[in-house]
A and B are shown apart, each in its own frame.
Chain A
């Protein structure tokens, strides 16, 4: 019954490698997000997609590329990984403030990425 799921939960890789994190939501939401939480616990939005269309693209290196094959999935691909990419990455989803119910962004359990 997981609402927002991410795989893998842990990812350890070496500098220079390319990796992907997958996210799926079964809530029927139209909008999905990627957030990065750094070692100081600071949470910052990276991207958002609404119905497979990119809505928010924060100042993120272009080594990070989100891909939304359908509105239930939003994957994050990272090329040429660097030490500074080590963080916890959270996927989230929401229905939108016009849905007629209280607004909420639901977060996944996170993927802890460690680059060595």
Chain B
């Protein structure tokens, strides 16, 4: 049972465009929603995170939009660059057990 569903599986965006990745969760006990970025051969690294009492968080070109009633959240990458090409994972966590539940990942490719 996939508790965090992520789409699309892969995404190709032109340089300068907006990349959008969507996630949906089921467990209302989750209270922290991070996005991780993973380059080939490397471990995942935290990109940006949000708590459910906030509807949007922006850090540079990266924005998380959070819809608590719909149990959905998304990552927007503005002015996408070739260096953003990586696999992106949404995740959810309950601070009670610090157990990160990951989405299935999105392979993002930015083309010139």
Chain B residues within CB distance 8 Å of chain A: 32, 34, 36, 38, 41-46, 49, 87, 89, 93, 95, 97-102, 104-105, 107
Contact = CB atoms under 8 A, between A and B. Distances in A.
Contacts of B101: 45
A97 B38 CA distance: 23
A97 B32 contact: yes
Taking chain A's interface residues, is the majority helix, strand, or loop, or is none over half, making it mixed?
strand
Given A103-B49, A105-B100, 16 more contacts: A33-B100, A35-B100, A42-B104, A42-B105, A45-B101, A48-B99, A55-B98, A56-B99, A90-B44, A92-B43, A97-B32, A102-B49, A103-B32, A107-B44, A109-B43, A110-B42
A40 B42 CA distance: 15
A109 B42 contact: yes
Given A90-B44, A108-B43, A109-B43, A44 B49 contact: no
Contact of B98 (A31, A43, A110): A31
Interface of A: 4, 31, 33, 35, 40-45, 48, 55-56, 90, 92, 94, 96-97, 102-110
Contacts, number: 60
A41 B105 contact: yes
Contacts of B87: 41
B98 A96 contact: yes
Nearest to B104: A42
A97 to B, nearest CB: 4
Nearest to B45: A107
